[in-house]
Structure 1
Amino acid sequence: MKNGKINTLKVVSIDDKGYQLQNEKGQEIFLPLEELQTKAEEGAEVEVFIYKDRARMITGKLPSVQVDEFAFLTVKYLTEAGAYVDWGLDKDLFVPKEEQMEDLQEDKTYLIFVFEDEDTGVIRGSQRVEDFVFLDEIDVARGDEVRLQLYRESDLGINAVINNMYQGLIFRSDIHKEVHVGEELTGYVKKVRDDGKIDVMLEPLGYKKSVDSNTDLLLKAITEGAGFLALTDKSNPEEIKRILGLSKKAFKRAAGHLYKSKLIEIRQDGLYIVKK
């Protein structure tokens, strides 16, 4: 039986108290009737979550995160010994005080790693992200699309867990849209460093270069039109192509970049230079 994991087991017998379940190796475990979400027949396969707290627990309710995974979890209540966070089960996941990186607050959400204590087998949570990421045998490369969990801001940018395994950083100079700690989103590998840490971007490589080029082109067109260009996001794609040589998507991206930089105003009749 895999501790802290969802196990697929076969129902070998049923009585009025519950189900006797068995894995492929013939090991058996009893599941109380009330712990299974729907009724199962003898011979059926069911998914159950098995984990150790003070004793070995089994439930047909499945958690939102398993052992060796990161997830954003919300604190339900605090004690002197630690915090209890919601992971989708009736019994909350315990995050000991020594596994916290800050004073956690009730009803707030934090990135938590679920781990199995090597000595006791007890399942616990930790906020010490850097203790559980891999810094070698990196299997992503420059340009790869990756999954990001943004968990902490620093002077350099925003720290992220990559693909549930690696530590990454999005430099502030590479952030071109509004993002926040606590978000899960798609990113792209910019560089794998010698220390095993990874620089990531929120857009595919080459995006910034094309945006800068298209932005310069659009700004020049508005300037040459005495500070006004009669194009909007409702303009015909052919018209945009004829005037600027850009696709409608590239035009909207460049206009959005200029607007966020407070260089232009976007009105119903077109784009206007912001007068200093």
Structure 2
Amino acid sequence: MIALGTLNTLTVKKQVKFGYYLDGLSWGEILLPNNVAPADIVIGEPLSVFLYLDSEDQLIATTEQPKIMVGQVASLAVVASTKVGAFLDWGLKKDLLVPFSEQQIPLKVGQHYLVYCYVDLSNRIVASTKLDRHLHKTPVPYQTGDKVQVMISEQTDIGYKAIIEHQHWGVLYKNEVFRPLKRGERHTALITKVRDDGKIDLRLNQATYQQAQALTEKILQRLRQNDGKLALTDKSSPELIADAFGVSKKTFKQAIGALYKDKLIVITPAGLLLVEKSV
């Protein structure tokens, strides 16, 4: 089935002076201009193309890869602001419109924003920063243990909101995140729980999690070996921390932060103290 704003496999039908016509079936013939046609194109052979509307709102095909497709979320830069809305650079000649009605806040030229791409009621490919309006609208298809691709959206009091596979919201809890995450970062994550209300708990990929867990265990072990005391804090020098655990100060701070939130340690000006119940 042919769809606007996505990749489609169409048969090359014929060559003309300004390009090639592809068989769009019920959509009719669709032009692939010469400047985006591959050198090895063959009449009668299938070709993967992206379909969108050009500056004159005519259906057109391209072999260029856009930075976002319909049904996806991406971080894109604003290149212009006009009376009809903001325009984003999505890698094609015609920029991608974010109508004013789909702007969570006024978009500024030169800034990057997370946007969801969709086809509106006027059959235009547009984008929206109002992610809640477009995400988490279908049944959750995941189970505990599933590996998924996520994009970081924003930091909250409990951790980070993340977009799962462009379609659903999930949460990474701060006591399981061992370094700061930035908006727009992509990661592999594991589904740890799908709640009855459809909310989804996440954890960063198993290797990252195990590495972070190993550091917290090392810190606890060192505390147990030293009568529950360790003369290191989040204010200690990077050199002292590296000598003690072979990690960066940032990693160490994330680890002791997680231990503190789990009420396993107390952080004092003189160092770390082991909470008695964890011995």
TM-score range, shorter chain: 0.7 to 0.9
Alignment of 1:163-174 (within 5 A): 163-174=165-176
Checking the alignment, whether the CA contact within 8 Å between 1:135 and 1:197 is kept in structure 2 is no
CA contact (8 A) 1:5 1:50 kept: yes
Partner of residue 218, structure 1 = 222
Q: Would the alpha carbon gap of residues 141 and 33 (structure 1) be closer, same or farther in structure 2, given more than 3 Å must change?
A: same
Contact 1:82-1:96 at 8 Å conserved across structures: yes
Distance change >3 Å, CA 219–CA 12, structure 1 → 2: same
CA–CA separation in structure 1 for the residues paired with 2:222 and 2:173: 26
Note if contact 2:30-2:60 (Cα within 8 Å) is conserved in structure 1.
no
Q: CA deviation at 1:165?
A: 1.6
Deviation at 1:191, TM superposition (A): 2.1
Partner of 1:85: 88
Describe how 1:73-112 pairs up with structure 2 within 5 A: 73-112=76-115
Structure 1 length normalisation: TM-score? 0.74
User: Aligned letter for 1:5?
Assistant: T
Matches within 5 A, 1:23-34: 23=24, 27-34=28-35
CA shift, 1:25, in A, is 7.0
CA contact (8 A) 2:242 2:248 kept: no
Q: Is the 8 A contact 2:5 2:50 kept in 1?
A: yes
**Which position in structure 1 is the counterpart of 2:43?**
42
Distance 1:41 1:203 in 2: 43
Query: Are positions 1:146 and 2:148 aligned together?
Result: yes
1:258 is displaced (CA, Å) by 4.3
The alpha-carbon distance between structure 1 residues 256 and 20, as it changes in their structure 2 partners (threshold 3 A), is: closer
In the alignment, structure 2 segments of 5+ residues that lack a partner are: 233-240, 258-268, 272-279
For residues 110-146 of structure 1, give each alpha carbon's deviation from its aligned partner in whole angstroms, at most 9, with x where no partner exists: 11111011x3211111112122223553222223322
Relative to structure 1, the CA distance from residue 197 to residue 261 in structure 2 (aligned partners, 3 Å threshold; closer, same or farther) is closer
Cα 1:219–1:258 change in 2 (3 A) is farther
Gaps of 5+ in 1: 236-250, 264-273
Alignment of 1:199-238 (within 5 A): 199-202=201-204, 204=206, 207=210, 211-221=215-225
Q: Deviations over 1:162-213 (max 9, x none)?
A: 1222101223333221211121112222322222121222254984766543
SS in structure 2 of the partner of residue 103 of structure 1: coil
Output the TM-score relative to the length of structure 2.
0.74
User: Does the 8 A contact of 1:3 with 1:51 survive in 2?
Assistant: yes
Deviation for aligned residue 1:233: 8.1
Structure 2 vs 1, CA of residues 103 and 158 (structure 1 numbering), >3 Å: closer, same or farther?
farther
- Quote the Cα distance in structure 1 between the aligned partners of 2:230 and 2:174: 34
- Per-residue deviation, 1:52: 3.4
- Distance in 2, Cα, partners of 1:129 & 1:45: 35
Which residue matches 1:71?
Answer: 74
- d(CA) in 2 for partners of 1:252 and 1:46? 52
Q: Judging changes above 3 Å, is the alpha-carbon distance between structure 1 residues 123 and 254 closer, same or farther for their aligned structure 2 residues?
A: closer
Structure 2 CA distance for aligned equivalents of residues 225 and 71 of structure 1: 46
Give the letter aligned to residue 132 of structure 1: H
Secondary structure of the structure 1 residue equivalent to 2:42: coil
Q: Could you say what secondary structure the match of 2:70 adopts?
A: coil
In the aligned structure 1, how far is the partner of 2:185 from the partner of 2:52?
A: 28
